[in-house]
Amino acid sequence: MGLQSKIADLGRLHEIIRAFSIAGFGDIFKKMGLEATAECTGKIIGWKYAEDIAHLERPQRIRKLFEVFGPAFVKLGQMLATCPDLFGPVWISEFEKLQSQAPQLDFEELRPQIEEDLGSPLDEIFQDVDPKPLAAASMAQVHRATLKDGTKVILKIQRPGIRAKIESDMRLLTYLASLAEKKSRNWPPIIPKKWSSNS
């Protein structure tokens, strides 16, 4: 892994710890031996989703965090949805929502990606493109469109920068999992068995 990737991963790790700390899950990282990082990021004021999750219960907050951080975390949540031996019904219900819901991106955020993929401005190819998504998944978003000859088509647009983000997050999740495994002999589990909605 090159220096640029390492720097990007470090920035992403700080972003993740900061967001989880604001959401009330900072102790997880302290138990992993990341006290300094957790304390440092905790001093940074502001996270654009903080107000959106402040009023939510803990299971809803963790689901929102997984949605915000994208495909790798969504897939993790989907896996956790199959673990009723670890989580109570309220938590499982929230994780299951990750299987059918994903935050929608404004179409203008997707426009550069699809124009790059097609090699032309959209106006040269389509009569119109519906800016309202037909569906939104963790890796792509689907929109209705009409070609110049009147043919109706469906556009599946990959989320910008998704490949690099997934690769970075997979490295970080692997790193965090290895830390958790090493530390798990000395403290109680990060995920208490059968978490209730308020714990």
Here the tokens at position 97 are 């929502």
Taking 60 as the threshold, does the pLDDT of residue 44 lie above it? Answer: no
Q: How far is CA 198 from CA 57, 131, 189, in A?
A: 7, 39, 17
89-97 helix and 71-80 helix, angle to the nearest 10 degrees:
140
Q: H or E segment at 126? A: strand 126-129
For the chain, the structural domain boundaries read 3-102+162-183, 107-158
pLDDT tens column, 179-194: 777 765 554 444 444 4
Q: Which residue has the tokens 């999740």?
A: 173
Per-residue confidence band for 74, with pLDDT thresholds at 50, 70 and 90: confident
Per-residue confidence band for 8, with pLDDT thresholds at 50, 70 and 90: low
